[in-house]
Amino acid sequence: MSAVAAPGPLAVVGAGPVGLSAALAAHALGLPAVLLEAQPRAAAAARPGSRAIFVHRATLELLERISPGLGEQIAARGLVWRTKRTLWAGREVHARSYRPSSAAPPFTSLPQTMVEDLLRAACDRAGIAQHWGDPVARVASEKGSVRLRTAGGVAHEASHVIAADGPRSTVRAEAGLALRGSTSATGFVVIDVADAAGLAEPERIFHYRHPAVGGRNVLLVPFRGGWRVDVQCRPGEDGGRLIDEAPDWLPGVLPQLPAHEVTWSSVYRFQQRLASAFTDRHQRILLAGEAAHLLPPFGARGMNSGIADAVAAARAVHTATVPAYAVARRAAAQQNIHAAAGALDHLLAARPRRRAAQWAAAAAAPWWPRAGRWLDAAPYGPQLRAVTY
């Protein structure tokens, strides 16, 4: 006979930053929730790599609202860089420094694992029911409830489900919702380099046509404990080979570090994918985060928009406004995808007009600051309102 868990009004599937945030948001609204995660807790806590490192102020404020003290904890654990620079073929075309402020930081930069550690601890303090290491296998949505069954045979019944189980979402597939969109043909390499002692001045630096990497575009972003090095591959290039050659080119990219200890590396492509709908036909399943949309890391839209989804989804369940959630958050994701498409078009510069505009801006930047500002901002896509995230 299968074990049956106590039914609750809300089930959250997936215990990444989005699912953990959804469970905390539900708790803050007085909604009992159960959190279901496929991986064992120890395995989830030990994931390698910095992953999503940039937490926007709007996200910190959301987390502070649903769990008092949490936003402040995350901000304190992270790193705030005060200078951003952009270079063209080794020549600086834009730089801006910000004065320290006593107000809440505009962002914080730290490995995603640290954020998840603090979110899990907040869920523990809140007494949120959690079931780890048993993936959800079946989901049946009806007019008045949702029934779930795990691979281990445990059944759960809930009034609603928030699906935060990532790009290969079982819940989305069971609901019959498709994830549609495109993947860039050009790859990008991301490498974490350790800097636990904080030896290098933390600055966000974007290099167009970096001479140390054969003229490829390079983004350097510091975070608590290290640096992320993001390199744009050439069309058809094997990103794995570029990673293998990293000991040869890293000293030229990060000369401010005496050693270059690589702690993690990966190859990715720009993903621009959107679910056909953010809720099922019975409006009992709400998609959030990467179960609902896939976005590239440039612009830090992925995790930040996912946490905004999570908080909005819990609120929609609480206020019985699920249809409005589906419309508003899908529109936000569409804006982010549009912004990502603009960033990718700029980075690839496949059209002669785009390449000519970049060259002209680089030549004009020393005497026309606006050209430098454009070169600095364009790789991240157009600026969107914080609510979009």
Distance CA 288, CA 10 (A): 14
- Pairing of the two strands 33-37 and 129-132: parallel
Q: Do both 253 and 290 map to the same domain?
A: no
Chain mean position to CA 362: 30
User: Pairing mode, if any, of strands 107-109 and 54-56?
Assistant: antiparallel
Distance separating alpha carbons of residues 121 and 323, to the nearest angstrom = 32
Q: What is the pLDDT of residue 102?
A: 65
Same-domain check for residues 132 and 12: yes
Look up the domain containing 216 and give its range.
185-269
Instruction: Please tell me whether residues 212 and 137 are part of one structural domain.
Output: no
Instruction: Decide which of 269, 284, 301 is a domain's last residue.
Output: 269
Query: String of b and e for 316-338 (b: at least 16 CB within 10 Å)?
Result: bbbeeebeebbebbbebbebbbe
Contact status, residue 303 vs residue 17, Cβ threshold 8 Å:
yes
In this prediction, residue 43 carries a pLDDT of: 85
Q: Rounded to whole angstroms, what are the CA distances from 40 to 29, 36, 37, 47, 389? A: 27, 10, 8, 11, 29
Cβ neighbour number for residue 2 with a 10 Å cutoff: 9
The secondary structure of the chain in percent helix, strand, coil, rounded to multiples of 5, reads 40, 30, 30
Within-domain flag for 298:
yes
- Same domain, residue pair 262 and 277: no
In a shared domain, residues 137 and 54:
yes
Give the CATH number, domain containing residue 254.
3.30.9.10
Contacts (Cβ under 8 Å, ≥6 apart) of 60: 71, 72, 74, 75, 104, 105, 107, 108
- Tell me, what's the pLDDT at 386? 45
- Final residue of a structural domain among 223, 238, 269: 269
Residue 180 has a pLDDT of 95
Give CA separation, 74 vs 56, 173, 175, 382, 383, in Å. Answer: 11, 33, 34, 26, 24
361 located within any domain: no
Can you read off the two tokens belonging to residue 300?
């830090």
- Tokens 């401010």, residue? 256
Three-state SS at 92: strand
Do 215 and 329 belong together in one domain? no
Residue 116 belongs to some domain of the structure: yes
User: Left, alpha or beta for 153 (phi > 0: left; psi -120 to 50: alpha)?
Assistant: left
Return the DSSP state at 215: T
Domain count, the chain: 2
Best CA proximity match to 184, nearest among 292, 299, 294, 86: 294
Judgement on whether residues 189 and 123 belong to the same structural domain of the protein: no
Residues 6+ apart with CB under 8 A from 124: none
Helix (H, G, I), strand (E, B) or coil at 51: coil
* Residue 96 belongs to some domain of the structure: no
112 and 44 both lie in a single domain: yes
Q: Report the pLDDT value the prediction gives residue 1, as an integer from 0 to 100.
A: 37
Spatial contact of 78 and 109, defined as CB atoms under 8 Å apart: yes
| 48 located within any domain | yes
Boundary-marking domain end, from 241, 269, 297: 269
User: Which tokens hold the place of 123?
Assistant: 């869920």
Phi and psi at residue 304, in whole multiples of 5°? Answer: -65, -45
Token pair recorded at residue 218:
């390079």
Q: Which residue ranges of the chain lie beneath pLDDT 50?
A: 1-7, 386-387, 389
5, 34 Cβ separation under 8 angstroms: yes
pLDDT for res 4: 44
- Gap between the Cα atoms of 357 and 367, Å rounded: 16
- Residue 229 falls inside a structural domain: yes
Task: Report how far residue 24's alpha carbon sits from residue 326's, in angstroms, rounded to the nearest whole number.
Answer: 20
